[in-house]
Amino acid sequence: MAPLKSLEREYPIIDSEFQNFCASHGIFSVEDFLINDLYELAALAEQQPTLERLKEGITQVLGIIDNQHQPWLNGMDLLEDALRNKHFLSTGFEGGTEASKVMVAFINLDGNAVHYRFERLSNRDHDWTERQLVGPFVLTFGVRLDLLLQGGFRAGQLTELVGPSSSGKTQCTDEVFAETQFCLQTAANVAVKHMGRVVYLDTGNSFSPQRIAHFMELISDLHFKQAKHKILQKAMSNIVCHSVFDIFAMFDVLCQLECDLRSQMDRRDYLVQLLIVDSVSSLITPVLGGSGSQGINTWMYVTGFRKLDFVTGICHIASLLKKYMGTGRALMISAGFLLKKLAHEHNLAVVVTNHTVGGEGGASKPALGESWKSVPHVRLLVSRNRGSSSCSVSILKHPSMASGKATEFVISEF
């Protein structure tokens, strides 16, 4: 924040005399004002000969402080913003049944009804459309995952996908994490169906344009080859991938993105709708405390089976570790707040992945632990069912639902 000196030009009341008075009480910047007692300062000003001007100066700084926080809103303002800007982005996972369109209830508090419907659905029993299916969102019949999420990923929210990293035994590099597939398919869907821009932060070279193109082929149901080609080309150009290998690079990309979004806020053609970080845990675990070697080990475990030159990677990370030891959690929480700020202010849906690592007693747990839990709005557990291409998703956390609900979906193999 600004030193008082720099404010002098804009606010003449903050003159050198006022600055000297503040300096004599250890206040040099607006930031210092925040952690000092202004009532005490005002009382001290009383004893000065020029108390009127000093008090005026304090009031002026208070006015500046008043602009440093987010705007005051009431419930109606918030609701209007939510209805106008915080839309759902469909994840595009078809369940395999016929794609007849139905209206699905907006938010159904009685979560059990949703669960009930899934069960009936899996029994190929479609007569459940009668009662509760009213509301504004058009979804396809088979989009079970969107149903589970009450409409898909929501703009303004940070959604976390927790999933297992591939087991240590397989040396097969072709195996792709279920969460990554999930991200790629969602990106394809948003680019094609919503015609929105997608920013994809790739930490382990897992971004695959071929896969995205494949998903797009599946999604778009156009029959004319030329039109299809054109649309796919446009959709592909809407997905921007950045390779980032450490948390600082991620901060760089995100800050740049924030800058771009802010300067192009009124231009409708540059409308980023989805931001994906795959995976955020491999960026954060190395800087997260614990013993240094443990951090590197976890990092190796998480990223080790990806196509990454990890000798240079380890050297790089080790040097960072030394520098930022102990501030890992601060970086993690700051990253979380930056993502949430981007999501809220620019109406993006943000999706991050968090790989599970082996915990004590053989049980696996998410690489980012207790402190991270309070960061995302929605947490989903993604796991690949053994011996099949289907995946199951269950809700660990959702703002308007009890956790523990689950659904299955199929990721098409390629």
Partner 1 sequence: MAAEKGWIQGDESGKEMLSRVLTEWPPFLLLPPFHRLPLRVGNVVELVGPSLSAKTHILIQVAISCILPKEWNGVHYGGLGRLVMFLDLDCRFDISCLAQLLKLRIIQANGSSSKVHWDQKVGNLGTCHAKGNSSIAYDEELFALCLRRFLYVRCYDSFEFLATLKTLCFRLQKEREAYGISVHFLMIDSIGAFHWVDRACRPLPHEVNNRKSLSLQSVSETVVQEMRKLLLVHPMVVIATKATIIGDKNSTKEVKWKSRKLSTPDTSYSEDVKSNTQHVPYHEYMPSVWQSFVTHRIAVRPTGEHSTITQNKQVQLSVYLSQWLLPPLKFLDKFALLPDGSIILQQID
Footprint on residues 323-362 left by partner 1 (CB under 8 A): 326-327, 329-334, 337, 340-341, 344, 360
Q: How far is the CB of 11 from partner 1 (least distance, A)?
A: 17
Q: Contact 276/198 with Cβ under 8 angstroms?
A: yes
Residue 389 has phi, psi (to 5 degrees) of -90, 0
Bridge partner residues of 139 (DSSP): 102
Distance of CA 243 to the CA centre of its chain: 17
Collapsing DSSP states into helix, strand and coil, what is residue 145? helix
Smallest distance from the beta carbon of 275 to partner 1, in angstroms?
16
Q: Which of residues 390-409 bind partner 1 (CB under 8 A)?
A: 396-397, 399-400, 402-404
Helix (H, G, I), strand (E, B) or coil at 2: coil
Least distance in Å: CB of 183 to partner 1? 21
Minimum CB–partner distance for residue 212 and partner 1 (Å): 30
d(CA 352, CA 160): 5
Closer to partner 1 at the Cβ: 70 or 226?
A: 70
Site for partner 1 in 7-66 (CB under 8 A): 25-28, 31-32, 34-39, 62, 65-66
Q: Closest separation between CB of residue 413 and partner 1, Å?
A: 34
How many Å apart are CA 235 and CA 213, to the nearest integer? Answer: 9
**Which element (helix H / strand E) includes 278?**
strand 272-278
**Residue 38 or residue 271: which is nearer to partner 1 going by CB?**
38
- CA nearest to 396, candidates 409, 383, 384, 378: 378
Report the nearest approach of partner 1 to the CB of residue 64 (Å): 9
CA distances from 331 to 259, 287, 363 (A): 20, 8, 27
Contact at 8 Å (CB) between 396 and 403? yes
Q: Does 110 bind partner 1 (CB under 8 A)?
A: yes
* Residue 321 beta carbon to partner 1: minimum distance, rounded to whole angstroms: 13
Q: Is 132 in the site for partner 1 (CB under 8 A)?
A: yes
Site string for partner 1, 273-312 (x = CB under 8 A): ----------------xx----------------------
Nearest CB to partner 1, comparing residues 25 and 55: 25
User: Considering beta carbons, is residue 87 or 384 the nearer one to partner 1?
Assistant: 87
Q: Is 111 in the site for partner 1 (CB under 8 A)?
A: yes
Q: Is 373 in the site for partner 1 (CB under 8 A)?
A: yes
How far apart (Å, rounded) are the C-alpha atoms in residues 393 and 407? 5
Question: Is the CB of 71 or the CB of 387 nearer to partner 1?
Answer: 71
The bridge status of strand 390-397 relative to strand 378-384 is antiparallel
Q: Which residues pair with 153 in a beta bridge?
A: 89
Q: Which of residues 197-256 bind partner 1 (CB under 8 A)?
A: none
Q: Which is nearer to partner 1, 234 or 373 (CB)?
A: 373
Q: Is 161 left (phi over 0), alpha (psi -120 to 50) or beta?
A: beta
Q: According to CB under 8 A, which residues from 259 to 278 bind partner 1? A: none
From CA 152, how far away is CA 149, in angstroms rounded? Answer: 5
For residue 107, state whether it binds partner 1 (rule: CB under 8 A).
yes
Q: Does the protein bind partner 1 through residue 369 (CB under 8 A)?
A: yes
Query: Shortest gap between Cβ of 255 and partner 1 (angstroms)?
Result: 14
Instruction: Find the radius of gyration of the CA atoms of the chain.
Output: 25
Q: Considering only 106-114, 180-188, 201-209, 349-357, which stretch makes contact with partner 1 by CB under 8 A?
A: 106-114
Q: What is the dihedral of CA 91, 95, 99, 100, to 10 degrees?
A: -100
Q: Under rule CB under 8 A, how many of the chain's residues touch partner 1?
A: 74
Q: Give, as ranges, the residues between 65 and 94 that touch partner 1 (CB under 8 A).
A: 65-66, 68-76, 78-79, 81-83
Parallel, antiparallel, or unpaired: how do β-strands 390-397 and 239-243 relate? Answer: unpaired
Nearer to partner 1, 76 or 172 (CB): 76
Answer yes or no whether residue 120 interacts with partner 1 by CB under 8 A.
no
Smallest gap from Cβ 155 to partner 1, in A, equals 12
Tokens of 40: 């005490």
**The pair of three-digit structure tokens given for residue 37, joined into one six-digit string:** 């007692």
> What is the rounded CA–CA span in Å between residue 203 and residue 201?
6
> Min. distance of Cβ 46 from partner 1 in angstroms?
17
